[in-house]
Structure formats: C-alpha cells, structure tokens
Amino acid sequence: MKTYPMHIGGVPVETGRYLDIVDPALEEPFARVAAAGPEHVNAAVAAARAAFPGWAATPAAERAAMLHALAGALDANMSELMELVTRETGKPLQGLNNVGAGMELGGAIAWTHVTADLPLAPEVIQDNAQARVEVHRKPLGVVASITPWNWPLMIAIWHLIPALRAGNTVVIKPSEFTPVATSRFVELANAILPPGVLNMVAGGGEVGAALTAHPDVNKIVFTGSTRTGKRIMEGAAVSLKRLTLELGGNDAGIVLPGADVQALAPKLFGAGFHNNGQTCACLKRLYVHESQVEELAAELASLASRAKVGNGMEPGIELGPLQNRGQLDIVTALARDAREQGGRFLSGGAARDGKGYFFEPAIVTGLSNGTRLVDEEQFGPILPVIAYRDVEEAIRLANDNPNGLGGSVWSSDLALAAQVAGRLECGTVWINEHGAVQPDAPFGGVKQSGLGVGFGRQGLEEFTSIQTVKIMKG
C-alpha cells in the first residue's frame, strides 16, 4: 500500500501518523496519506506567508505560464491521476454519459488553461484634464482551501488556480476521505511553482478548523455542506477573513407541459444520476405536470434499472459506489423514510449486499414538498419525481427550499421556459440542461447555498482586493 506525503514549503512531509484511504468499491484501504497536526498547519501557513511577497510580485504573464505548465503536468499524468480519483471516490473511469474520472481530469486541465489566461488589467473610471482614476485588483495573501470528497481534484483546481493566478499563495486541505489525487497533484505542482506557493495538509475537521481559524490566513474558499460553511463563517468573523462558500444544493427541475418525454428522459437521468448523484449541482427534485408524470417517471425508472452499477475500475461501468459508508447510510435512511411516507419506488432503492457502498438507483413517485427525500439534499442515486397541477404551483414548489444553487426548466417552448427560469431562486438556471458549468461563466449559490462565485472574471476577482488610485493632473 503506497504512502503519500503532505507538502509544505516545496518539500514532501511525513509525520508518522497516517490516514488510511478506503476504496469504496472494495471497502478496504488502498493508500495512506500523512496526517497533519497543529504544528504542520502552522508550518504550512508560515511557508505560504513567506512565499507571498515574491509570488505576488511575479509578473502576471510568468504566473500564467507556470499555470499552463500545471495543466501540462495534469495531462502528462492523466492516466495515473484518473486511477487515483476512481480508487478514492468510486466514480468510474468513464461513467454515465462519460461523466467520470476522465471527465474530472479533462475538466481540471481545461479550467487551468482558461483561468490562467483570464485578465486582471486595471479598470479606468475617469481620465480627463482633472484626474485619472483607476481600479486595481491586488492579491489578498494566504488562501486556505478546503475541498470535498465528491470531485476532489477538479474542485481543488477550481480553488487553487484562480487564487494562484491572482497572486495569492495557498494551503489546501482536501477531504480526509479523498486526499490521494490531491497529494499527487501538489507534488507535481511543486516541481513547477516556487517553494511555499502551494502547500497541502491532510486530516479531519480539526485540521480544517485550525487552518481556517489561523490568524495569518486572509481568505477561505470552501466547498461542502451548509452546516460546515456556517461554522467556517463564524470563525472567519474574528479577523474578517474573505470568504467564498459553495454550499449545499437541492436543485429543482421543472418539466413544462407538453414535453417530449422520450427525448428528455435520458438527459434528465444523466442530470440526476451522474457521479451517483454526488454533485452539488445535480438535479435532485424533478417537478412534472400531472398529465405526464407517470409516463416520464416510468421512462426514468427503465433507464435506472438498466444502468450498469459496479467497480469503477471495470470497463463499461456507469455508476460506482457511494463514496463512504456515512453517505450510504444517509441515502438508505432517506429511502426508508420515503417508503414510510407513501413513496412508490419504480426502481431500485436499496443497498446492495456484499462489499462496497453500492445503492441501486431509484426513481420515486407519490411524494411532494414536506417529505425528507424532497426537502433534503440526498446526494445519492435516488430521485423524487413530483406531480404539479399548473406552472405557478411548480415554481412555488421549486422555490420552497432553503437552498438555491441551481435549477432548470425543460420545454420546447424556449420563450416560456426563459420566463419560468427567471423566477427560480437559484444562482444558475439552465434551460433543457442541468449542471453544465464552464470556466468562463460565474457559478455560485443564493440563499443557504453559499456566498460569492467561482469561474470567469467574477470568480477570479473573489481572490483580490480593490485599490482605487486617483491621480490628480491639475
């Protein structure tokens, strides 16, 4: 079993304490990662702080060139990193609709290239005979990145690359369930970046708390649960740290009356079940007009029953296991409660016997708002399909949730779909699509789904402060 180090100040660090990383398809460890104590958090932040002045002063073109080199390192080591992602997350190498470890690596590479070239030139507000007023974007300092277990490498890239592009230095703490691919990437990155620019510590919540509360951290970027995000926000208030929080989602989709069920069903199934539903912006609640709900639910159940579930290292597998035992228990409990509340399971709905955290993909009808499976984010392969009487009711039900990450509207009438989409309370809304993000378009949540945005110029600016410069000419 291979051991992976942490990385502080440009060098690998072993601690004598380890996290055993479990392959969720086999329920047995396949790797170990060195575990941090408070002293390692302090050392990592100190290394990032020491490296900050030099990195911030590095010309933007040179920083961009190094980030492009990072993308090249990802590409050159793609096969190895794909296997590590599959072993630690359970997601298949290819996956449903090719949304798997290959897509995670491909997305990481694309995001790195696009973000490296985003501009941060000064904005001229005024330039006349009296004065010239410019708005400059300056790096913040040390950024703490806390990443989740569902897309560990790609979300790390989403955090790290804009932070580095803007001139910040970084300490990243990946999830204690999935630190392996991140450790390998940071090792590759430290062969390109100056020492201390990118550091990694590993451990559980206590390590994350020590990092986010550290007085020398200037900004926190976190992707994860709303509950943890609130705790981070409380701690950040002590020193007014900047925050970007991408938190829980319970994304609703609305299928408008008269939809082409046969054409939409595969797209809806992919939107709800890729990565086993373990994506913040997966479709998690589907509202369908009462005239078509049974037909569409039956078609979705047919797709669910035919989906190939198994070890993601094997060819042709579309859905792997859930990432950890705790998440399997959550999904199982939600399924049990749905049955008790009168939900009808048209497919699946139970954990598989034997090794691995496998759950048979489920389509459930007969529920509505006010039941746990509809109100709570399931983060697993179980989708409630909910009937509505008219479009006003569909909009009300879709908005009746504390989360507001993404949403979607499905119809051949694009004008009507756009009208409905504009009334949904979410940070991103898709029409005839769900969950598709891109590196040049901002993405973030409203309500309790987070603060700030990622991606594009707007996401890059989250890692900067504004300095207004006024030059008097008279």
Straight-line distance from the first to the last Cα atom of the chain, in angstroms, rounded to the nearest whole number: 71
Which of the following is catalytic: 280, 299, 318, 360?
280
CB atoms within 10 A of CB 61: 7
Q: Which of 404, 452, 428, 441 is nearest to 245 (CA)?
A: 452
pLDDT at 283: 98
Domain ranges of the chain: 2-247+449-472, 252-439
Work out the angle between the directed axes of helices 60-76 and 180-190 (0-180°, nearest 10): 130
Which pLDDT score is estimated for 8?
A: 98
> How many Cβ atoms from other residues are within 10 Å of residue 336's Cβ?
14
- At residue 149, the pLDDT reads 98
For 364, list phi and psi in degrees, rounded to 5: -125, 130
- The pLDDT assigned to 474 comes to 79
Q: What is the pLDDT, as a whole number, of residue 4?
A: 98
Could you confirm whether 28 is annotated as catalytic?
no
Q: Is 426 a catalytic residue?
A: no
Instruction: Using CB atoms within 10 Å of the CB of residue 443, give its burial: 0 to 12 exposed, 13 to 18 middle, 19+ buried.
Output: buried
Mean pLDDT by 10 residues, the chain (474 residues): 97 96 98 97 98 98 98 98 98 98 98 97 96 98 98 98 98 98 98 98 96 97 96 94 97 97 97 97 98 98 98 98 98 98 98 97 98 98 98 98 98 97 98 97 97 97 98 92
Could you tell me the fold of the domain covering 2-247+449-472? Aldehyde Dehydrogenase; Chain A, domain 1 (3.40.605)
Fold of 252-439: Aldehyde Dehydrogenase; Chain A, domain 2 (3.40.309)
CB 129 within 8 A of CB 346: no
Say what the pLDDT of residue 158 is: 98
Choose, from 88, 104, 176, 246, the residue flagged as catalytic: 246
pLDDT at position 145 is: 98
